[in-house]
Each structure stands twice: as structure tokens, then as C-alpha cells.
Structure 1
Amino acid sequence: MESQYKRLTDSQWEVVSQSLPIERKRVHSLRVIVDAIFYVLRVGCQWRNLPRESFPKWELVYYYFRKWQSDGTLESLNFSLNIKERARRGKEASPRLLSVDSQSVKVAPFVSEETGVDGNKKVNGRKRHVITDTLGLVWGVVVHSANKADGAMADRVVAPLRGYLHRMEKILADAAYEQMFMAWVGQNLLGVDVEISSKPPGTQGFVPVKWRWVTERAFGMFNFFRRLDKDHEKTPESAQSWVLWHNCQVILNRLT
């Protein structure tokens, strides 16, 4: 894990550029745009406080952030980087075993869209609902209000992966997913099982559960990126994008 923000190296940009439309000539290189997005992710500054001496106008950077969020470019970049990292670790491109879980986080002031209270964790805010493989790589994310049940929302995380992760055989989850999500998987994902695995009864605090602990580690790594210390985003869609940008930056640091 890098302890501070660093600009993209030549080898990192070569990897990123394979998923971006770099053919057309522009006033500002897309490399600088990606650098600016990673800067906001790591430092956590407001868009308007993006340093002008180092990056283009914040409006331009924000334009590309929203454009790549809406046209699928970010998802494509995240998907390709996941495959490269799995190949580097000697894994098949498509994982067989995945883990789904959620993290409840507080929201910043003036954030009101899609918020609620998680009565179990006593958090007023949103949930980051992610699905990871056994390496902790994020393959899907949905951000929603914290008062919505995990089991009722997990299908929104997994459904977009149908047709892409053809080797998927098992999804690990905790007891919150035992009813609604398990029933949805049985009806919609032929040949995929849901395995409920929770920490032993009577234990206190964090207890690592085999394979599911990597998802908890992914949540913990969010704390190293100031934009993710809580949910600062007006819309849940932007919050989802930052989780994917985080996964991309972590992989780029590992690849080089």
C-alpha cells in the first residue's frame, strides 16, 4: 500500500490507456485527467480545490469522472485490471469463489439522497455493498441507504456479473443473506451456490472468517483513501465510482 499520492508511472499509464479512448487529440492528455481523479481519491479534496498548478480545471476533470461513470468506461477499466492482477497472481481470469458483504458508513454534511439509519450498527448514512474474489478485488459495487437490508439488495450487486464471470460457482455471505438473496440466486444463477459462513457464536469483535476476511480487508483499505473515509458524494452513483477507482489504484500499485 502506497503511503502517499504518486502520479502514474509510464508503465501504469500504459496499462490504464488500454481501456481509455486515447486516439483523439486533446488539449489535455487523459493521463493528466486520470492523475487528477486519483489525486482527489487519495487526498480527499473538494473538486473545486483541485490544484490548478498541477492539473486542468476541475470542471474538465469532473466531466470525465461523470462521463466514464455513465458510459461504462470505468467498469471496463476495473474489469480489465482485475483480470491482469489475477493473471499476475497465477489465477484464472474469471473467479469461481466470491464473497459479498456491505459496509455502513456515515455521510458528509448536506448529503441527503439515498440515506438512512442502519439500526444494527447505529450508523446514519449509506451502505457500500461489494462483491470480491479471494484476492479481495472488487468486481461489483452498489451504494444504497443504510436502512435497506443486505439480503434484499445483494441481487443488485451480483446481477450485472451474469454473463461475465462464467466460472462463478459459489458466493460466500453471512446470515443476513440467508433468505432473500439465497432464494434469488437459486432462481437466477444456475449452478451457483450461496454458502453462509459467520463467526462462531459468542465471539466478540472482529473474527476473520475463511475467505470472507478479504472483503473485510477491502473495507479496511478504504480508510487509506480520504475520499472514502465517509460518503462525501451527493449521489450513490458517484460513491460507487470512487470504490471502483480505489480498486483500480490498488491494482496499479501492485502491478508495478
Structure 2
Amino acid sequence: MRSKFTLLTDSHWESIKNILTDKRKRKYCLRTIFNAILWICRTGSQWRNLSSEYPYWQIVYYYFDKWEKSGVLEQVMLKLVRKERIYQGHNYAPSVGAIDSQSVKKSAFVSIETGIDGGKHINGRKRHLAVDSLGLPIAISVSSANVHDSIGAFDLLWRIDKVSHRMKLIRTDKAYCGDFSEMVEKYYKWKIEITQKPPSEKGFVPQKGRWQVERSFAWLNNFRRLSKDYEKIPESAVAFIQVAFISILLK
């Protein structure tokens, strides 16, 4: 992970421009606008404090909102994931996934779909993430923090099924036992593997097949926009997680 924000290189832009551009004549360069979105995600700045080297913040936000609602950001992320998997000698569609969640505090003005995670004493939202064996994202969802891990993860299943026709195994911890595990095995016909560190162990203990998802959450910590949940709606929170992974995959 680089220590500071850097602009897209020519090769970076070439790898994603076909999804972002529609060959219309525009006053503002889409590459510059996408750089601005990456800058916001990395630095954590407010939209209204967007650096003057970029177009007006309202224009940048318009495209961020448009690309989030149309699924363009997800398309870019998944395209880069597939390219990286092929580059590392894997099939473009994963057959094994790992699921976990991360509760994050909300900022003061966020009030839609928030709650308190009683176990971690966090008032905010919960990020649900499914990754492949390389730690690359397969599916992302955001709920209020008071939603149980196994309930919030239901929203990941159809997303995983849409992305990969080869999925065979899902690795989780004991929080996902019960109805969630039953749904995975009976409806989707995937195997589920529950792993948990021994009660006698303290601190972080890498678990087979699941440490990758913990590392993926750690990658997100490098983006100040994700240090808390600053987004008014969960859909925007998901979009910024997608932007963060796009930045990671491009670099």
C-alpha cells in the first residue's frame, strides 16, 4: 500500500476507461473526475473541501452518485478482481470464499440504518464482506451495526452467486451457524466450513482460509474516508468500499 495518494497512470486508466466512458463529448475529463473520487476516498476529505485541482465538487459527486446507482463502480471492481485472479494463475471465478463483518462508528450526522453493536459497543454500521482465497472482494454489503452477522450476510449470498458460478465452499466463524449455514447448504448447494480460534488463545490468531478476509479489512484501514461511516445512506458506504478496492487493485 502506498503511503500517499497518487494519480492514475496511463496504464491504470486504460484498464478501466471502457467501463466509465460512453464516448460522449464532455466538458470535464472523466479520468480527472475518477481521480477526484479516489482522492476523496484516500484522504477522507468532505465533498465540499475537494481540492481545487479537480472540477467543482458537485460535478464529481454527480458522477459518484451516478456510477454507484448504475453499478458501474461494482463493474470496475469486479473486472479488476478477475484480471488479478487470472494474472496470479487462478480461474477468473472463485470457487472458495470467506465471509466476515466489521463494525464501524458512524459520524455525528449519520442517522439512516444505524444501530449499536452490543458485543463491540459500537454505534454505527456493519460492513459485510466476502472475499476469495487471495483476499479480493467478491461481494460487499452494509447494514446497521445491530444486525447480527448471520442476518446481514444473507445479502451477500445472491451477490456471490451472481459473480461466481464455480462457488463450492464458504468459510466463516461460529457467528454464522444456524439459518445462514442452512441456507448456504440447502439452497445454494455450497459447503460451509466453520472455523474458530481456540478459547485459550488470546489476540489475533490466523485461521485457515479466513485470515484473508481479516487482511482485506486491514487494507481498508488505509483509506481515511472509511475510518468511520460518513455516508448518509448504506449504498454510498458500499460504493466507497468498492472505490477503495479499485484503488488497491490498480496499485
TM-score, with length taken from structure 1: 0.96
Task: Please state whether the residue corresponding to 1:249 is helix, strand or coil.
Answer: helix
- The answer on whether the counterparts of 1:33 and 1:61 sit within 8 Å (CA) in structure 2 is yes
Deviation at 1:187, TM superposition (A): 3.2
* Equivalence for 2:64: 65
Match of 1:221 among 195, 219, 222: 219
Aligned pairs, number: 251
Spell out, residue by residue over 1:39-92, the C-alpha distance to the aligned partner (whole angstroms, 9 max, x if none).
00001000000012x100100100110111111111111110100111111111
Structure 2 CA distance, aligned partners of 1:168 and 1:180?
Answer: 19
Q: Which contiguous aligned blocks of 4+ residues in structure 1 show a shift greater than 4 angstroms?
A: none
Task: Please state whether the residue corresponding to 1:159 is helix, strand or coil.
Answer: helix
* Equivalence for 2:151: 152
- The answer on whether the counterparts of 2:142 and 2:235 sit within 8 Å (CA) in structure 1 is yes
Structure 1 CA distance, aligned partners of 2:85 and 2:158?
Answer: 22
Structure 2 CA distance, aligned partners of 1:163 and 1:184?
Answer: 16
Deviation at 1:169, TM superposition (A): 0.5
Structure 1 CA distance, aligned partners of 2:228 and 2:125?
Answer: 9
Spell out, residue by residue over 1:131-180, the C-alpha distance to the aligned partner (whole angstroms, 9 max, x if none).
00111111111111111111112110121232430110000000010112
- The answer on whether the counterparts of 2:161 and 2:167 sit within 8 Å (CA) in structure 1 is no
Q: Which structure 2 residues correspond to residues 195-206 of structure 1 after superposition, within 5 A?
A: 195-206=193-204
Structure 2 CA distance, aligned partners of 1:209 and 1:169?
Answer: 19
Structure 2 CA distance, aligned partners of 1:19 and 1:79?
Answer: 11
1:94 aligns with 2:93: yes
The percent of aligned pairs where both chains have the same amino acid is 44
Structure 1 CA distance, aligned partners of 2:42 and 2:151?
Answer: 32
* Equivalence for 1:24: 24
Q: Which structure 2 residues correspond to residues 115-154 of structure 1 after superposition, within 5 A?
A: 115-154=114-153
Structure 2 CA distance, aligned partners of 1:162 and 1:98?
Answer: 11
- The answer on whether the counterparts of 1:22 and 1:30 sit within 8 Å (CA) in structure 2 is no
Structure 2 CA distance, aligned partners of 1:8 and 1:127?
Answer: 30
Structure 2 CA distance, aligned partners of 1:144 and 1:166?
Answer: 26
Task: Please state whether the residue corresponding to 1:18 is helix, strand or coil.
Answer: helix
Structure 2 CA distance, aligned partners of 1:50 and 1:248?
Answer: 20
Letter paired with 2:146: N
* Equivalence for 2:242: 244
* Equivalence for 1:6: 6
1:164 aligns with 2:166: no
Letter paired with 1:82: V
Structure 1 CA distance, aligned partners of 2:50 and 2:119?
Answer: 37
* Equivalence for 2:192: 194
* Equivalence for 1:81: 80
Unaligned runs of 5+ in 1: none
* Equivalence for 1:37: 37
Unaligned runs of 5+ in 2: none
> How large is the RMSD of aligned CA atoms in angstroms?
1.0
Structure 2 CA distance, aligned partners of 1:82 and 1:249?
Answer: 11
Task: Please state whether the residue corresponding to 2:15 is helix, strand or coil.
Answer: helix
Deviation at 1:22, TM superposition (A): 3.8
- The answer on whether the counterparts of 1:172 and 1:195 sit within 8 Å (CA) in structure 2 is yes
